[in-house]
Amino acid sequence: MSGKVAIGSDIGQARRAVEQLRMEAGIERVKVSKAASDLLQFCMEQAKSDPFLVGIPAATNPFKEKKPCTIL
């Protein structure tokens, strides 16, 4: 009795796994060269607004200490 129930749920799981794999195998894909170029392009375009790349002067970065003025 319990053997049949176990098999039933195994089949249900196996069917779902097959359906899932069919769906995943069938999706549209792009070549890595194209995908990589697009990642690069995004990076380059955004680079000027990336504080870690451009660097924010101590005066405007709230976390950096403001340099004290030296009076000569």
Partner 1 sequence: MATDGLHENQTLASLKSEAESLKGKLEEERAKLHDVELHQVAERVEALGQFVMKTRRTLKGHGNKVLCMDWCKDKRRIVSSSQDGKVIVWDSFTTNKEHAVTMPCTWVMACAYAPSGCAIACGGLDNKCSVYPLTFDKNENMAAKKKSVAMHTNYLSACSFTNSDMQILTASGDGTCALWDVESGQLLQSFHGHGADVLCLDLAPSETGNTFVSGGCDKKAMVWDMRSGQCVQAFETHESDINSVRYYPSGDAFASGSDDATCRLYDLRADREVAVYSKDSIIFGASSVDFSLSGRLLFAGYNDYTINVWDVLKGSRVSILFGHENRVSTLRVSPDGTAFCSGSWDHTLRVWA
Contacting residues toward partner 1, per CB under 8 A: 3-4, 7-8, 10-11, 14-15, 17-18, 20-25, 27, 29-40, 42-44, 46-47, 49-53, 56, 61-65
Write down the least CB distance from residue 25 to partner 1, Å.
Answer: 5
Torsion angle, alpha carbons of 38, 43, 45, 51, to 10? 170
Report the nearest approach of partner 1 to the CB of residue 23 (Å).
8
Query: CB of 68: closest distance to partner 1 in angstroms?
Result: 17
Q: Rounded distance, CA 58 to CA 47, Å?
A: 19
Q: By the 8 A CB rule, do 65 and 58 touch?
A: yes
